[in-house]
Amino acid sequence: MNCPAMTASPSSSSSSSYSTFRPPPPLLPQLSNDSQRSVVMHCTRLPFEAFAATSSNRLLGKHSLPLRAALVTSNPLNISSSSVISDAISSSSVITDDAKIGVLLLNLGGPETLDDVQPFLFNLFADPDIIRLPPVFQFLQKPLAQFISVARAPKSKEGYASIGGGSPLRHITDAQAEELRKCLWEKNVPAKVYVGMRYWHPFTEEAIEQIKRDGITKLVVLPLYPQFSISTSGSSLRLLERIFREDEYLVNMQHTVIPSWYQREGYIKAMANLIQSELGKFGSPNQCTWRASCICRRSR
């Protein structure tokens, strides 16, 4: 299999393109507006060949940058060099013969059937990173999530029914995971790739339990979002921090979070190719309208 981004020529422009962490004891605090603007954990959910590109100089190490620092580092990281995942897990100075390597892909999740829509929405709105209530009202988080999910479920079901009765996200993410696994094995990196969804099956907790059952000793964590947001990568990484901190097995495992690579050439080319292929279906359009979802930032 030809994996363009996995075989791209390396660049010497950065030596800190991904961050190794070991969750610190205290809870990760709520990020300020300034922290939200400076977060560098940018990832994507585009083609799998865009998953692997940055430098190989910083490798898995238990005592390197913690997850908290990975979340709030203010300096954007250059991600223009090659093979971030294989670089992160195949260095002879880090990997031993008995090491068991895992890659955890994090994504949002989605209802697979129309019956899943309401409980999926409940999980979504019960997350305090999606709806933030003042501390005095936090006891209302789940009742409010129940009310919103029940109210919105009928309209949401109509949308999912129009695309076949469920979200295709799990199928797409599983396919990405399998192609990534094949690419890594072709580079002599015998890694297992796992999928952990935030709000539906397979939940992140389920993926972690499988990782433990498989005896993984070194783990690379890759959120599949175009850029960091408190309500996407941030929520998943906060959950992971809590899981890791409360589990002795995970505390002693080496972990690497792959940060910002939205600027890497493979990702940009993948975006450009997809846009170009879609534009080609319209002949010679006189006008193009670009849409993107966004999250409003609260003013101080």
What is the full per-residue pLDDT of the chain (300 aa) written as tens digits?
Answer: 444 434 333 333 333 344 444 443 333 333 333 333 322 233 333 344 444 333 323 333 332 334 444 443 323 333 322 355 665 555 434 556 678 999 999 999 999 999 999 999 999 999 999 999 999 999 999 999 999 999 999 999 999 999 999 999 999 999 999 999 999 999 999 999 999 999 999 999 999 999 999 999 999 999 898 787 888 888 999 999 999 999 999 988 998 887 667 877 888 899 999 988 888 888 776 767 777 666 555 544
Q: How many CB atoms lie within 10 A of CB 21?
A: 25
Nearest to 42, CA basis, from 261, 236, 237, 231: 261
Check residue 83 and give its pLDDT: 53
3-state secondary structure of 20: strand
3-state secondary structure of 188: coil
Smallest CA-to-CA distance from 129 within 34, 200, 202, 30 is with 30
- Could you state, in order of their start, the residue ranges of all structural domains in the chain? 4-110+167-275, 114-162
**Fold topology of 4-110+167-275:** Rossmann fold (3.40.50)
Looking at residue 230, its pLDDT comes to 82
Residue 227 is predicted with a pLDDT of 81
**Identity at 192, one-letter amino acid code:** K
Return the closest-CA partner of residue 119 out of 140, 146, 138: 146
Q: Where are the alpha helices (DSSP H) in 39-168?
A: 67-72, 84-90, 117-125, 141-162
pLDDT at position 98 is: 78
Determine the Cα–Cα distance for residues 107 and 232; give it in Å rounded to an integer: 8
Closest CA to 194 of 161, 165, 170: 170
Q: Say what the pLDDT of residue 284 is.
A: 72
pLDDT at 76: 32
CA atoms within 13 Å, Cβ hemisphere of 42:
24
Query: pTM higher than 0.75, yes or no?
Result: no
pLDDT at 55: 30
Whose structure tokens read 């390396």?
10
Instruction: Tell me whether residue 16 is exposed, middle or buried, using C-beta atoms within 10 angstroms of its C-beta: 0 to 12, 13 to 18, 19 or more.
Output: middle
Per-residue pLDDT at 2: 44
Residue type at 154? Answer: P
Cβ neighbors of 143 (< 8 A, separation 6 or more) are: none
How confident is the model at residue 172, as a pLDDT? 96
